[in-house]
A and B are shown apart, each in its own frame.
Chain A
Amino acid sequence: MSAPVILRVIDFINKAAGIVLTTEKAYFVEARLSPVLREEGLPSIDELMTRAERGDRRLAQRVIDALTTNETFFFRDKTPFEHFRNVIIPELLARRPAGKTLRIWCAACSSGQEPYSLVMVLDELKAQLAGRPVEIHASDISEAILSKAKSGIFNQFEVQRGLPTKMLLQYFQKVGDNWQISPEVVKRVNFFKFNLLEEPKTMGTFDVIFCRNVLIYFDRPTRAKIFDRLADRLAPDGFLLLGGAESTFGVTDRFTSHPKERMLHVPLMRRADPAARTAIA
């Protein structure tokens, strides 16, 4: 692939999705876009980019789908789910009036393992929740991966990464060579397409936002902008969970670490809001 073509792809994916690629990733771009060329019957990446840039939204989406990384698995990194179970839910239940819905957003849900893992944790906490309604919203920029997430179908490899066997038995049915998660679990997650570069104006406020292992693909100014938007969508005493290699430190002043759990991020309260400040102290 020639230098002008790789630069063209780099520029496109940065503008469309905020993802930062470098010229050293030419092999990755070629490997990911080659199947698209074959399936679309196009002669070259140059031609594909010409059509995507000239307004062919379907092809543009195919380029985004191909170049986004969808690595995920059930209960990934474990600790965030322990925080969710042991810190976040107890604190939210203590602060919110009975009956008030808890709202959770998985902001880069990929093929759905993260929100489905949360459903399983919430089931474990059923007695503690005592009928409290909980909404799980899950978004991704890739239509292809959202479609897979909504199908609830996972292969044998996927159901063995992070998922305890007792949960496989509890929630899945075997369908051919694959495994289908219970439709009841699928129904409990509201999947929708969302680009983190967009302004999430109509989504309401969330109590918990999982935005893990996606900000590593963005440059610092883009990360700062996204943190701003997440802070706008998060309740003043809500919780933000990032990936293990991600941090708000040095990028934004909208979040700080939770006083008890350094890996948990909470909105940094403004001085004019002493009540909210007390809430997390």
Chain B
Amino acid sequence: MKTCLVVDDSSVIRKVARRILEGLDFEITEAEDGKQAMDRVASKMPDAILLDWNMPNMDGYEFLLKLRQMAGGDRPKVVFCTTENDISHIAKAMDSGADEYVMKPFDKEILCSKFGEVGLV
């Protein structure tokens, strides 16, 4: 089964994302911020990461940069999922190693489309 780490400080978003991604046959783990996400990927690298931008402790952008420098950190497909929906944020994320970008609010169709783009659906 494919694995996905959902990183978001909102428990509601994590719950919605979990429900959608489990429907797409992903096994889900969760993290509340970038720091917690670092612990998760250090113990097991997932196939995909759905990543919020603005979070306490460590934001999604900093997490992405650190992830891509880790051993095996180039493997997970990273899909940003954020309210930051201006071109500069999107370009910055894609230039820094994100594979796809979801602008909140999202629904099942959008997540399905974006995970399809990265070859996981």
Contact = CB atoms under 8 A, between A and B. Distances in A.
B86 interface: yes
A157 B109 CA distance: 10
Interface residues of B, number: 18
A174 B103 CA distance: 13
A156 B117 contact: no
B87 A160 contact: no
Contact of B103 (A73, A160, A164): A160
Contacts of B10: none
Contact of A166 (B94, B106, B113, B114): B94
B90 A160 contact: no
B100 A165 contact: yes
- Most chain B beta carbons < 10 A, residue from A73, A160, A168, A169: A160
Nearest to B91: A169
Interface string B77-121: 000000001110011001000001111001101100110110000
Contact of A169 (B85, B87, B107): B87
Interface string A144-176: 000000000000110011101110110001100
B121 to A, nearest CB: 11
B102 A160 contact: yes
Contact of B90 (A78, A157, A161, A165): A165
Contact of B86 (A160, A162, A174): A174
Nearest to A78: B116
A174 B106 CA distance: 18
B94 A160 contact: no
Nearest to A168: B90
B85 A156 contact: yes
B100 A169 contact: no
Contacts of A169: 87, 90-91, 94
Judged by DSSP, the binding face of B is helix
B117 A160 contact: no
Contacts of A162: 113
B108 to A, nearest CB: 11
Interface string A14-30: 00000000000000000
Given A156-B85, A169-B90, A161 B103 contact: no
A141 B90 CA distance: 36
A45 B113 CA distance: 38
B106 A160 contact: yes
A243 to B, nearest CB: 18
Contacts of A73: 113
Interface in A25-56: none
Nearest to B110: A160
A25 to B, nearest CB: 23
A260 B110 CA distance: 32
Contacts of A160: 102-103, 106, 110, 113-114
Given A169-B87, A169-B94, A161 B100 contact: no
A160 B105 CA distance: 11
Contacts of A168: 90, 101
Nearest to A157: B110
A73 B116 CA distance: 14
Contacts of B101: 165, 168
Contacts of A157: 107, 110
19 contacts: A73-B113, A78-B116, A157-B107, A157-B110, A160-B103, A160-B106, A160-B110, A160-B113, A160-B114, A161-B109, A161-B110, A161-B113, A164-B100, A165-B90, A166-B94, A168-B90, A169-B94, A174-B86, A174-B87
Given A161-B113, A164-B117, 6 more contacts: A156-B103, A157-B107, A161-B110, A162-B113, A165-B114, A168-B101
User: What 5 pairs across the A-B complex have the smallest Cβ distances?
Assistant: A165-B101, A160-B110, A164-B117, A165-B100, A156-B103
